[in-house]
Amino acid sequence: MQIDKRIYVVGSGWAGYNLTEHYDCDVYLIDCGGKLALMDAGAGLSLEKMREIIRFHGFSFQDIEAIFITHTHGDHVGGARALQELTGARILAHPDSAEYLRRGAQDKMSVDIAVARGMYPAGFQVEACEAFPIEDGETVSMGEVSFTAIDTPGHCSGHHSYLVETPEKRYLFSGDSIFLGGRISLQNIWDCSLAEYGETAHRLDALDFDALLPSHFGIDLLEGKSHVHRAAEIFAQLGVPGQASESRG
Tell me whether residue 73 or residue 225 sits nearer to Zn ion (CB atom).
73
Piece in contact with Zn ion (CB under 5 A), picked from 16-24, 94-102, 173-181, 194-202: 173-181
Residue selected from 176, 191, 196, 220 as contacting Zn ion according to rule CB under 5 A: 176
Q: Output the smallest distance, CB 66 to Zn ion, in A.
A: 21
Tell me whether residue 175 or residue 224 sits nearer to Zn ion (CB atom).
175
Piece in contact with Zn ion (CB under 5 A), picked from 71-79, 121-129, 146-154, 201-209: 71-79
Q: From CA 2, how far away is CA 213, in angstroms rounded?
A: 13
Instruction: Give the total of residues touching Zn ion (CB under 5 A).
Output: 3
Q: Output the smallest distance, CB 73 to Zn ion, in A.
A: 4
Which positions from 28 through 57 interact with Zn ion, judged by CB under 5 A?
Answer: none
Asked if 94 touches Zn ion (CB under 5 A), the answer is no
| Structural contact between residues 21 and 45, judged by C-beta atoms closer than 8 angstroms | yes
Q: Output the smallest distance, CB 249 to Zn ion, in A.
A: 5
Q: Output the smallest distance, CB 227 to Zn ion, in A.
A: 17
> How would DSSP label each residue in 191-221?
T--HHHHHHHHHHHHTS--SEEEESSS--BS
Piece in contact with Zn ion (CB under 5 A), picked from 8-16, 65-73, 102-110, 165-173: 65-73
Q: Output the smallest distance, CB 48 to Zn ion, in A.
A: 24
| Structural contact between residues 186 and 153, judged by C-beta atoms closer than 8 angstroms | no
Asked if 249 touches Zn ion (CB under 5 A), the answer is yes
Q: Output the smallest distance, CB 176 to Zn ion, in A.
A: 4
**CB-based burial of residue 247 (10 Å sphere; 0-12 exposed, 13-18 middle, 19+ buried)?**
exposed
Name the residue among 204, 193, 209 with its Cα closest to residue 232: 204
| Structural contact between residues 70 and 38, judged by C-beta atoms closer than 8 angstroms | no
Q: From CA 217, how far away is CA 235, in angstroms rounded?
A: 21
Distance of CA 99 to the CA centre of its chain: 17
Piece in contact with Zn ion (CB under 5 A), picked from 8-16, 70-78, 137-145, 205-213: 70-78
Q: Output the smallest distance, CB 63 to Zn ion, in A.
A: 27
Q: From CA 32, how far away is CA 241, in angstroms rounded?
A: 34
Piece in contact with Zn ion (CB under 5 A), picked from 73-81, 85-93, 205-213, 227-235: 73-81
> How would DSSP label each residue in 100-161?
HHHHT-TTTTTHHHHHHTTSS-TT--PPP---EE--TT-EEEETTEEEEEEE--SSSTT-EE
Contact residues toward Zn ion (CB under 5 A) are 73, 176, 249
